[in-house]
Amino acid sequence: MYRVVICTLAVLSAAAVCCHADRPMQVNVIPRPTAIEVRGDGFELTADTVILVDEQARDVAEYLAQMLKPATGYTLGIRNLSGDPIQHPVIHLRLEADAEALGDEGYRLQATATKIDITANTPAGLFYGCQTLRQLLPTEIDSQEAVEGVAWAVPGVKIEDAPRFVWRGMHLDVCRHFFDKETVKQYLDRMARYKLNTFHWHLTEDQGWRIEIKQYPLLTEVGAWRTGEDGDRYGGFYTQDDIREVVAYAESLFITVVPEIEMPGHSVAALATYPELSCTGGPFEVETKWGVFKDVYCVGNDKTFEFIQNVLTEVVALFPGEYIHVGGDECPKDRWVECPKCQARIKAEGLKDEHELQSYLIKRIDTFLTSSGKKLIGWDEILEGGLAPGAAVMSWRGVKGGIEAAKLKRYAVMSPHSHLYFDFKQSKDPDELGALYKHNPTPLQRVYSYEPLPDELTEDETKYILGAQANVWTEPIETPEQIQYMTLPRMLGLAEVVWSAKDQRDWNNFESRIIGEYARFDRMCLTYRDHRR
Ligand code: ACM
Ligand code: ZN
């Protein structure tokens, strides 16, 4: 059952949480690294420790210093590698060509009595090495206030690590319920901790349009607001400055943001603002209930394309990543069947049916995005009626869509609702958050059991599976604490699925490490669902 947990750790006395010099060294890293060797004396972080860094990775050194500061109270010095020899204990962040084997995101970490060496091919790799270092330190490091009397000890280890997949994603729906930019940044912080690198930001829906578009200010004046359950006005949106701020923050955490602008369905908030873009002309109100609605963009109307392309032009300018998500899921065809304009389009373009009409829209938008230097990704319904030439598929209705895409030699991301829908409940308890859905529960162990590469694919075809992603739809989720409850610890299960080598995945081993992580959640006053309850 979901309960609001009152955080008590912050008020524990220092005596209760100090003095762990003789604590056995436990290596408790999530996601599990490719190889760990525990050997020799460890390192102890002190106020004299200096971070040595290549100039190109200075931002990572500053991030590390900020990470270590609240709990230790230390303001660690940062020096360029090329400077004078240093007598102090050091954390060495080094970009090295011979780390080429680790790819774009891997790292090596070695801790000895005098030094922690983190080497990587890229700043991203160094950043992930720093996340591992955090987990090698005592759990007190995650306290937001200085903790006295702790030996900030790192075990003697040699770690070699690199991710299995390039797309390690978390999605967040900010439309069914709205979450401010600070909540989004905290979500990104938690993703970065577990080496997740892709944030899918679901920005438009039937129940709210959440991104400012300068050419269409009414989208957020009208489309961002609905009548709430209590009869009050409910909603909110991000200005373009907010979006730039979040994107820059994500970039500092080596996270790419993939915005989602839904079409042709799930668009009632846009149609409530511009009813002339629908088949019937409306009028409509921003939806107050959850579901799949019959009023969708009219694909027979050229104004629909003009509108979508103008919106996407602003979206493209805000998001530096490769992919733009255009939705494409759950689009009823009822209105198109009855609409003279849609039927005229089907005839003029020689299309077979309304599925091909949807495909016609996605193909036109794919051409537009390609000409804007971006790639299109959409939910697996975009396969119906023919996949657009440049499009990638996000497989949510199971894994069939991902398999079909890979067999066509097209990229796919797996996010099947059978394992990776974190809005689904975590137990059969009728009071469990997410119980509004009738699906079977998705407890941590089920998430952990997910294997992104289906047996049906040949080795060559598996290259088209970019990775996996969990989706967090927010019909049942109203508060930041509820987001935490639904994603912690399931997000850590996902992290190990997408990062760790297949032969490193072992539920019993993971379970022993996740329990250690709960102590860190407590330190951070996070709300989570202990999977043992
Ligand atoms: C979806 O869950 N409708 C993609
Ligand atoms: Zn129409």
Does the residue 348 lie in any domain?
no
Does the residue 367 lie in any domain?
no
Closest C-alpha residue for ligand 1 atom 3: 329
The CA-based angle 402-411-465, given to 5 degrees, is 60
> How far away, in angstroms, is 280 Cα from ligand 2 center?
7
What distance in Å separates the CA atoms of residue 60 and residue 53, rounded to the nearest whole number? Answer: 9
The pLDDT score that the predictor gives to residue 81 is 82
Q: At 149, which CATH number?
A: 3.30.379.10
End-to-end CA distance of the chain: 9
Does the residue 89 lie in any domain?
yes
Closest C-alpha residue for ligand 1 atom 2: 396
Nearest ligand to the C-alpha atom of residue 296? 2
Nearest ligand to the C-alpha atom of residue 439? 1
Does the residue 37 lie in any domain?
yes
Q: What dihedral angle (degrees, nearest 10) is formed by the CA atoms of 492, 495, 496, 497? A: 120
The pLDDT score that the predictor gives to residue 9 is 47
Task: Report which ligand 1 atom has the smallest distance to the Cα of 379.
Answer: 4
Does the residue 92 lie in any domain?
yes
The pLDDT score that the predictor gives to residue 101 is 81
248 token code pair: 């820059």
Does the residue 39 lie in any domain?
yes
The pLDDT score that the predictor gives to residue 15 is 30
The pLDDT score that the predictor gives to residue 303 is 98
The pLDDT score that the predictor gives to residue 256 is 99
Q: Is 93 helix (H, G, I), strand (E, B) or coil?
A: strand
Q: Is 66 helix (H, G, I), strand (E, B) or coil?
A: helix
Spans of the chain below 70 pLDDT? 1-26
Does the residue 186 lie in any domain?
no
* Helix ranges, 231-353 (H): 240-252, 268-273, 302-318, 334-338, 340-348
Does the residue 247 lie in any domain?
no
Q: Residue 156 sits in which domain range? A: 9-161
The pLDDT score that the predictor gives to residue 7 is 59
Q: DSSP letters of 9-65? A: GGGS-GGGG---TTSPP----SSPPSEEEE-S--EEE-TT-EEEE-GGGHHHHHHHH
The pLDDT score that the predictor gives to residue 20 is 40
The pLDDT score that the predictor gives to residue 178 is 98
The pLDDT score that the predictor gives to residue 283 is 98
Inter-residue contact 360 to 384 (CB < 8 Å) = no
Kindly calculate the radius of gyration of the chain based on its CA atoms and give it in whole angstroms.
24
State the total domains in the chain: 1
What distance in Å separates the CA atoms of residue 55 and residue 58, rounded to the nearest whole number? Answer: 5
> How far away, in angstroms, is 409 Cα from ligand 1 center?
23
HSE value, Cβ hemisphere, 13 Å, CA-based, for 133: 32
